[in-house]
Amino acid sequence: MPQRGKIWSKIDWLTAVIYLILLIIGWLNVYAAVYTESHHPLFDISTRYTRQFLFILLALFLAFSAILIEVNFYTFFAYVIYAFGILALAGVLVAGKEINNARSWYSFGWFNIQPSEFAKLAVCFGLAKFYSTFNLKTDTLRTTLIAGALIILPMLLILMQPDTGSAIVFLAFLIPMYREGMPPFILIIGILAGILFFLALILDKLTIILLLAVL
Amino acid sequence: MDPFSNRKKFIIILAAAGFLALFGKLFYIQIIDSSYKVSAESNSQRIVTRYPARGLIYDRTGKLIVSNQAAYDVLVNPSQLQSFDTAALCKMLGITVDAARRAIDSAFRFSRYQPSEFVRQISVQEYAVLQEQLYKFPGFFVQPRTLRKYHTSGSSHLLGYVGEVDKSVIKKDPYYRMGDYIGISGIEKAYEEALRGRKGQEVLLVDVHGRVKGSFADGKFDRDAEVGEDLYTTIDLALQEYGEKLMQNMRGSIVAIEPQTGEILALVSSPGYDPALLVGRARAGNYARLAKDTLKPLFNRALMAKYPPGSTFKIMNALIGLKEGVIGTQTEFGCNMGIQIGGMFKRCHSHASPLDLRGAIQNSCNSYFFLTFRNIIENRNYKNSTEAYNAWRRYVMSFGFGKVLGSDLPNELGGFVPAEDYYNRYYGKNRWNAYTIISLGIGQGELGITPLQMANYAAIIANRGYYVIPHSVKEIENKTLERKFRERHFVAIDSSLFNPIIDGMQGAVNGPGTGTALIARLPNIIICGKTGTAQNPHGADHSIFIAFAPRDNPKIALSVYVENGGFGATYAAPVASLIIEKFLTDTITRPWLEQHVLNANLLYYNAPKRKNMVED
């Protein structure tokens, strides 16, 4: 293990600490929300806060594992991970369990898995790998279209579940794309669309049409 | 180097702007907007309702009819429960251990810290026993409520009853909350706003678990309940109870009115029920039982039953005939056990012939009023029969027939006097005439009249041409009577035309010679009356009598209906005569007549329809 000392010094401690604080706040909130006056044992698998605690432990274990794995592994398998994410999304449309009129979950007995969560990670890998391509001209339309396709593919699969909310989250990848050189007008259009969306919630249709006409 | 490194700054600015917006909103909610503070405060105060006692109801002589009795709801606060002697508590409250267990379970489900109902409306007697033992049962406590107490075993249709409000009422009127009581029918419903009083409140400070920590703001927002206003009704309770006694073996109704004022003296619908049956915990069960009863004790016949008026309507046609000038008081028609009219032979009963108007009413001659009615409808002063019919109908409606009178009692029906269209639809336009609808001449056919309208009709004759809308309440504490119950409504017949008719009604009861209601005669009081017999498809005819007395300056006008009672003189006239005697003299001098009425067997028995029955 030649790099043993380096691992810990290379961690973004600020992010890690923020992550841990959020974990704790989230867990306390779950505890408060389901608290009843009657006494319940702290460790009871049937309570949500106990289950949340188990998930926290599992997440920390996975985080450590992720750190310990050789970096080249990720570089090498990035597209494979992306492909797995897409396959999982395609599979859930066939083998998923229908909950609230949407096929978004794989059911494994006592726990369920939502592949769109893993797809987020998969797209991260795919996108990062793509933008790391040697000699890539990142500010061309062609590059943007290919990167965009990497995002739109999982989005379409999730929209078919249908789970619009989860799909919209993938638009956040426009921000790193912009950071890496995507033509700015796409982001500006995106922001304008977002503003329009919120206005539509607040104002009535006629006002918006008039506003757009004036602009 | 990275050519886009300054884009990182833009992203940071964007994110910072987003968080700034969130903080702004947070600031607004926490510091500026008070609506969340208000809803948080409501979490720390509890408003306990103080229930007022309902107003009392008196009769016209000041006798108490309805008052209140205390009842106690037993509540349970689950958080304070300790193990207790379940069997002893259940025995005291008269419930099963199972029921107690279920009540406690549901209380737990509702809230651990807020009280829920355990047993409702226990009596004073049960409460007295419980109170001594209550210390043994921590977590249980008692909240006083008031229930109605009745000082009569009848009058139920008139008084109505009180019950818990339902969701539709709560939606419409924000005054009411779940569990409040409200008048559901009769006077209780009509005068709900006066009777209910005003709820008070007590604002308590509670902690997050709903435990009381004391009075909020030293009781600044507490308000005492205002007791409901007392009602003085127009009812003569003694007369009402006597009427109920007379009708105990009959189906039907008695409505008695003071003619000059329109005050309802008695309103009996038989069979009735004991109003105490619909009080408190027993109500639900008893109500279901009454609703299923084939005698329909819940049905208020006095206001809602529609019968043809039968021969009592001959008075109406006589008045219209006089007014239109198609008959005079001296007009005589011959009758030989009936007459030939419109190609049919219409039968009558045996009496002297020919008769003038007075004699025709006294003896209730069918022929006379068939001819009168024909003269009204075939009157040459009108373009055609239809026009004449419409004029006739206007007279009839001016007497309050065919429309809701507008009394203060809920659920009053308007009855039915067919409009022109009705016959047009049935026979075709201009294809009907006096002969087609000739049975209206003697009050049969399509007419539907309620007993209340009929009593009002008697009052109009007693008043010689006007009525005051019948009403059941004389005086509300602190309030004057509605104007509409003080106004006189004049009918479309001149008052001078009434006297010849009243002569006939006097003759029917008092003679000389023959009369249809001689059985109703009183030695010292001149009763004026008219018998009627309503044919009905369900069996024997209904016996009807309308009357007023004394002849001059009348004190009482009434209608009596006895379902399937036969001729008017058989039961209705004796009942009316006894009611009049009771009201005017407070004695009964003819026990044999009272016995005749009391021995009737008409509650369940319905004689088969007699064939070839002739109007009396």
Q: Does A20 touch chain B (CB under 8 A)?
A: no
* B101, B146, B166, B182, B570 from B282: Cα distances, Å: 21, 15, 18, 17, 39
Number of domains in chain B: 2
Q: Say if residues B264 and B234 touch (Cβ distance below 8 Å).
A: yes
DSSP A63: H
- HSE-CB at A139 with a 13 A cutoff on CA atoms is 9
- HSE-CB at B187 with a 13 A cutoff on CA atoms is 29
Beta-bridge partners for B200? B50
Q: Which residues of B touch A180 (CB under 8 A)?
A: 4
Q: Does B211 touch chain A (CB under 8 A)?
A: no
Do residues B242 and B224 share a domain?
Answer: no
Do residues B200 and B261 share a domain?
Answer: no
HEC letters along A122-165: HHHHHHHHHHCCCCCCCCCHHHHHHHHHHHHHHHHHHHCCCCHH
DSSP B24: H
Q: Which pLDDT does position A3 carry in this prediction?
A: 52
Do residues B211 and B255 share a domain?
Answer: no
Domain encompassing residue B445: 237-598
Mapped onto helix, strand or coil, the DSSP state of residue B599 is coil
Do residues B320 and B184 share a domain?
Answer: no
DSSP A193: H
Do residues B302 and B157 share a domain?
Answer: no
- Among residues B233, B268, B292, the one where a domain terminates is B233
Do residues B198 and B264 share a domain?
Answer: no
Q: Does B213 touch chain A (CB under 8 A)?
A: no
**Does some domain include residue B256?**
yes
DSSP element (H, E) containing B68:
strand B64-76
Q: Does A182 touch chain B (CB under 8 A)?
A: no
Do residues B335 and B411 share a domain?
Answer: yes
Per-residue pLDDT tens for A120-151?
999 999 999 999 888 888 888 888 899 999 99
* End-to-end CA gap in chain B: 122
DSSP element (H, E) containing A103:
strand A102-108
- Work out the pLDDT band at B321, boundaries 50, 70, 90: very high
Q: How far apart are CA B328 and CA B434, in angstroms?
A: 19
| B134 or B319, greater pLDDT | B319
* B143, B339, B434 from B140: Cα distances, Å: 10, 81, 76
**Does some domain include residue B35?**
no
Measured over the CA atoms of residue A69, residue A75, residue A80 and residue A84, the dihedral's sign is: positive
DSSP element (H, E) containing B489:
strand B489-490
Q: Does B4 touch chain A (CB under 8 A)?
A: yes
* Number of neighbouring beta carbons within 10 Å of residue A133: 11
Q: Provide mean pLDDT across the span B56-76.
A: 91
DSSP B327: S
* Number of neighbouring beta carbons within 10 Å of residue B374: 19
Q: Provide mean pLDDT across the span A146-159.
A: 92
Q: Which pLDDT does position B615 carry in this prediction?
A: 46
Residue B212: CATH number of its domain = 3.90.1310.10
Residue in chain A nearest B15 by alpha carbon? A175
Per-residue pLDDT tens for B531-565?
999 887 778 889 999 999 999 999 999 999 999 98
Number of residues in chain A = 215
Q: Say if residues B148 and B162 touch (Cβ distance below 8 Å).
A: yes
**Does some domain include residue B24?**
no
- Which tokens hold the place of B252? 């039907």
Q: Which pLDDT does position A105 carry in this prediction?
A: 86
| A9 or B324, greater pLDDT | B324
- Among residues B209, B233, B257, the one where a domain terminates is B233
Nearest Cα residue to B72 out of B25, B129, B124? B124
Contact B112 A38 (CB under 8 A): yes
Do residues B478 and B537 share a domain?
Answer: yes
Q: Does B19 touch chain A (CB under 8 A)?
A: no
Q: Say if residues A30 and A48 touch (Cβ distance below 8 Å).
A: yes
Top mean pLDDT of B92-96, B171-175, B405-409 is at B405-409
Sheet holding B200-206, edge to edge: B45-50, B200-206, B212-215
- Among residues B172, B205, B233, the one where a domain terminates is B233
Question: Which of B4, B11, B113 is facing A181, going by the closest CB pair?
Answer: B4
Q: Which residues of A touch B11 (CB under 8 A)?
A: 175, 178-179
Do residues B407 and B464 share a domain?
Answer: yes
Q: Does A37 touch chain B (CB under 8 A)?
A: yes
DSSP B382: S
**Does some domain include residue B5?**
no
Do residues B530 and B408 share a domain?
Answer: yes
Answer whether residue A76 shows pLDDT above 50: yes
**Does some domain include residue B258?**
yes
**Does some domain include residue B100?**
no
Q: How far apart are CA B121 and CA A41, in angstroms?
A: 41
Phi then psi for residue A3, to 5 deg, are: -95, 10
Go through B192-218 and write b for each residue having 16 or more CB atoms within 10 A of its CB, e for each that does not.
Answer: bebbbbebeebbbebeeebeeeeebee
Q: Does A40 touch chain B (CB under 8 A)?
A: no
Do residues B223 and B355 share a domain?
Answer: no
Q: Which residues of A touch B7 (CB under 8 A)?
A: 178-179
ipTM > 0.90, yes or no: no
Catalogue the E-assigned strands of B535-601. 542-549, 556-562
Contact B7 A175 (CB under 8 A): no
Answer whether residue B355 shows pLDDT above 80: yes
Q: How far apart are CA A123 and CA A79, in angstroms?
A: 9
Question: Which of A38, A175, A181 is facing B11, going by the closest CB pair?
Answer: A175
* Number of neighbouring beta carbons within 10 Å of residue B567: 24
| B69 or B255, greater pLDDT | B255
For residue B558, the Cα-to-chain-centroid distance in whole angstroms is 17
Name the CA dihedral angle for B488, B491, B495, B499, rounded to a multiple of 10 degrees.
Answer: -110
Per-residue pLDDT tens for B274-319?
999 998 878 888 999 999 988 889 999 999 999 999 999 999 999 9
Do residues B270 and B151 share a domain?
Answer: no
Residue B241: CATH number of its domain = 3.40.710.10
**Does some domain include residue B40?**
no
Q: Does A202 touch chain B (CB under 8 A)?
A: no
Q: Which residues of B touch A178 (CB under 8 A)?
A: 7, 11
Q: Which residues of A touch B4 (CB under 8 A)?
A: 138-139, 179-181
Q: Which amino acid is at B7?
A: R
- Which tokens hold the place of B169? 């009422």
**Does some domain include residue B497?**
yes
- Work out the pLDDT band at B107, boundaries 50, 70, 90: confident
Measured over the CA atoms of residue B298, residue B304, residue B307 and residue B312, the dihedral's sign is: positive
- Work out the pLDDT band at A1, boundaries 50, 70, 90: very low
Q: How far is A38 from chain B (nearest CA, A)?
A: 9
* Number of neighbouring beta carbons within 10 Å of residue B156: 25
Q: How far apart are CA B571 and CA B566, in angstroms?
A: 8
Q: How far is B8 from chain A (nearest CA, A)?
A: 6
Please enumerate in sequence order all residues whose Cβ is within 8 A of that of B427, keeping only pairs 6 or more positions apart, or say none.
B436
